[in-house]
Every structure is written in structure tokens, then in C-alpha cells.
Amino acid sequence: MSGRPRLTVFGTGYLGTAHAACLASLGFEVLGVDVDAARASALQAGTLPFYEPGLEPLLRAGLHGGRLSFTTSYPDAAEFGNVHFICVGTPQRPGSGGADLSQFEACFAGLAPLLRRPCLVVGKSTVPPGTVAAYGQRLPAIAPAGPGAELAWNPEFLREGHAVGDTLRPDRIVAGVRSARAEATLRAVYAEPLAAGIPFLVTDPATAEMVKVAANAFLATKISFINAMAELCEMTGADVLSLAGALGHDRRIGASGMRPGLGFGGGCLPKDIRALAARAAELGAGEALEFLHDIDAINQRRRTRVVDLAREAAGGRLESRRVGVLGVAFKPGSDDIRDSPALEVAARIQALGARVAVFDPAAMDRAKHVHPDLEYAGSVLGAARDADVLLVLTEWPEFAAADPEVLAKTVARQVVVDARHALDADAWRACGWDYRAPGRPGSAPPARTAGIRLHQAALHEAAAGFLAAAV
């Protein structure tokens, strides 16, 4: 391949669209491909079918500059590209923890027979270990180009809400390749980030595939670890925020990705740890990754804990209470509600008989689609109006910035449950709010603290006895 490779990107979700638009912004000619004709034409018209800060301007610049376009045609894509990135979704298989690879299979089976000249097919989708080896063998057997068509693996680590920055300036680029030609091609694609000093790690494809799933398993473990500590803090009256801060100062532990609260959700971490555990079991290594089931269970318990906190804050029952909910997206900066802890908690509270009014800066339309039964307010104040309890379930900056004094005049009772530790607890308490947050003092169930008080009384008694004996 001479000159700059021409690129195709199959699958135009968060990952594929960000990848296509960012590579076009680096000067490549890029063709995005999707089987969903409505999505492809929306993108061709410059409309992003989801919320992702900073991506739409890049999309439009690529379209206007003639470097970026979208199609549904696989033959056109095969003809156009020298490097084909596969970015299709790999959701959880219904009724099992395993990954549903049907979109990947359909993409591969549609593209491979059309590859007539030497090219590189690059997997970016998140797949369970062992997937790449199987596809790597099939590709030259199916493609008319034979061994000229090669499979490489180049996992993606972008976070929703930071897709552009994470694509253009990732922490590292991992290239899982079998040949010098494949490595050189990926170096050409990523020449600009490499020139900026981004580490380029060359591995075999099987390791590259593992880097992604291991990274997500580690991130999920870190979040569930601090949330497990939050459970313990509630038993002892300790403060999980101070704990996380103190732990984070240890450079071996690090502070980032260890925010306690409502736990992880979204289209990646939950399904990826389940798929990894399921594949490990299939490979005979189930015991080694057994702990991921606990990570999942700790995470699910956070949702139950926040429902319980809301019930306690509402005076012991949720029936007929008015609950204001701030946030339904799985995290701020995104309109994604896939496996959203916030939306699940809102729906569970509604199912317990409360009247729930929600507000989210970006995810309202998607949430309405799935939960038309909830009330949808037009603002923070609207969601808080006449509320017996106010819940903060997604840490959007506008919620942290809300004025507790103004909100105090809107609600029926000044009780707030800050499930994401987004608010300034002192400021809210100073305005008369009963402020509660999981893992923080003031939020422990009475029965548990009573047990601890007894234990502390026994310790004081023992200490007094010790001092008396010492003097």
C-alpha cells in the first residue's frame, strides 16, 4: 500500500463514529458503514444520533471537507478501503452472561468475501478472549485476496463523554499484529498521536484482545472495591469519601476511577465482566475469574442500597411519596441509559408506589422511550417541586451547581440522597437539608449503628479497664 491508507469504519455507534470522525480530522479519507440506513443518512446529513460532547463539529468538518462520508454498502466499502476497522457492538446475549457476537460475525461474513486486494482488517470491538484467533484463521480462507487480507487487533479504550479526547489522545495505542506490514500500517494510521508521544504497544492479536477485557475488568473491580468499603463504612460510621481520598494518595492504588456511589453501568463494564467470566468458564479458567461475579453483585447491591436510602429518607415508606430524581444517564456527559443505575433506581422507586419526577440534561428522550411511566420535568427545579425526597443519581455538573437555598423553597421536605457524592454536603446541611449519601456518616441504617455503638461501648469499657490496671 503506497501513500496514506484509505479507511473504512464498520459500525457507527459511539466508538465507530468517534473513530471515523477523528481519523478524518487527522486528514484521512474515511468511509463509515452501517447496516442501519436511517443512521447512515443522519450521519451523512451531519446529525449525531446520540449525545457526545465535541463530536458533532468534527463530524461536520469531515463531511464538509469531503474526507468523511457514510454508506450502507459493503461492496463500496471493500472497494474504497485499504484498512477496515470493525467497531460493531458486542452486547450481552439475552439470558446469559456471554457476549452476543452476531453483529461482529455478520460484519465479518459480509466484508471478507469482498476483499479482493491486500488490506488490513482491524478489530476494535470488545470481544471475549479467543475470538481473534478464530477470525484470524478464517479471513485468508474466505477473502479472495487470500493471505493478502490480514486481521489485526487494536482495542479501543474511549469513555463515553470523552470520546474525542480519548480517540485523539489515548493513554496508549495497542496494536495486536502478526506481521511487520500490519504494524507499519497501524503506525501510518496513528502517525500523529505517535508523533505526540502516545505510547504504541505492539503485541500479538490474542494479547491485544485481552488488554481490553482485562482493563475493563480491572476498572470494574476498582469501583466495586471502593463500594464494598462503602458498605463497611456504613457499619462503622467511617466516611468512604475520606477513605477513597486517603487510599488514592498511594501511587500504587491511585485516586482515579475509584469514586464510590451508585456503581457502574452503561453499555460496557457490566456486560464486559459478565462476558469475560462466561468465556473464562468455557476455557476452563472459571475459578480464576470467579471474583467477577462478586464484583457484579457488589455493584448491583449499590442500586438496592440507594432505593433503601430513599425509603429511609422518605420516612420508612415510598408509597404515595413524591420523589425528585436528578439524573437518569448512566454517567454525566452522556445520554446513554443502557444498564443505567440511575434509571433503574428511579424505576424501582416508582414501582414501590412513589410518584417520581426526573430531570436529566441529555438522556430524557431515551429514558421516556423505555420508561414512559415516569414523570419528566423540564428542569432541576421542576423535578424537585413538592418532593418529599430529592435524589441525585447522576453527577452532572449542573446538579452540583444547583443552589440548595433555592431548592429548599421548592421541595416539600428538605431531604436529599446524594448517591454520587456530587453535592457539597456542608453547604446543603448549612441550608437546613437532611443530607444523606451512601457510605458517609449520617446515612447508616439505625439497627446497624446500634450494633456498632454496643461494640464501641465494649471497647471503651475494655480501655477503661486497661487504664485502671495500668495506673
C-beta of 314 vs 346, nearer to ligand UGA: 346
By beta-carbon proximity to ligand UGA, the closer residue of 149 and 364 is 364
Stretch that binds ligand UGA, among 1-9, 90-98, 260-268, 444-452 (CB under 6 A): 260-268
Nearer to ligand UGA, 274 or 331 (CB): 331
Site size toward ligand UGA, by CB under 6 A:
22
Among 28, 330, 396, 399, binds ligand UGA (CB under 6 A): 330
Candidate residues 135, 264, 396, 435; the one interacting with ligand UGA per rule CB under 6 A: 264
CA atoms of 371 and 470, how far apart (whole Å): 66
Q: Is 103 in the site for ligand UGA (CB under 6 A)?
A: no
Sign of CA dihedral 267, 158, 291, 285: positive
* Site for ligand UGA contains 263 (CB under 6 A): yes
Least Å distance, CB 447 to ligand UGA, is: 27
Q: Which residues are catalytic?
A: 268
Ramachandran category for residue 353: left, alpha or beta (phi over 0 → left; psi -120 to 50 → alpha): left
Asked if residue 204 lies in contact with residue 257, where contact means CB atoms within 8 angstroms, the answer is no
Residues 215-244 that bind ligand UGA (CB under 6 A): 216, 219, 223
**Least gap, CB of 85 to ligand UGA (angstroms):** 14
Is 333 a residue that touches ligand UGA (CB under 6 A)? no
The residue (of 318 and 341) whose beta carbon lies closer to ligand UGA is 341
- Classify residue 93 by its DSSP letter: P
Give the helix/strand (H/E) hosting 110: helix 102-111
290-293's contacts with Cβ under 8 Å and 24+ in sequence apart are: 291/221, 292/217, 292/220, 292/221
Site for ligand UGA contains 81 (CB under 6 A): no
- The grid coordinates listed for 469 are 490496671
Cα gap 13→49, rounded to integer Å: 9
Count of CB atoms situated within 10 Å of the CB of 301: 17
Out of 266, 327, 438, 439, name the contact with ligand UGA by CB under 6 A. 266
Round the CA-based radius of gyration of the chain to a whole number and report it. Answer: 25
Q: How many Å apart are CA 325 and CA 393, to the nearest integer?
A: 7
Site for ligand UGA in 129-188 (CB under 6 A): 156-160
Q: Which helix (H) or strand (E) holds 85?
A: strand 83-86
Q: By C-beta, is 58 or 223 nearer to ligand UGA?
A: 223
Is 261 an interacting residue with respect to ligand UGA (CB under 6 A)? yes
The values of phi and psi at residue 436, to 5°, are -130, 145
Query: Least CB distance from residue 221 to ligand UGA, whole Å?
Result: 12
Q: Provide the 3-class DSSP secondary structure of residue 118.
A: coil
Q: Which is nearer to ligand UGA, 166 or 434 (CB)?
A: 166
Binding region for ligand UGA (CB under 6 A): 126, 156-160, 216, 219, 223, 257-259, 261, 263-266, 268-269, 272, 330-331
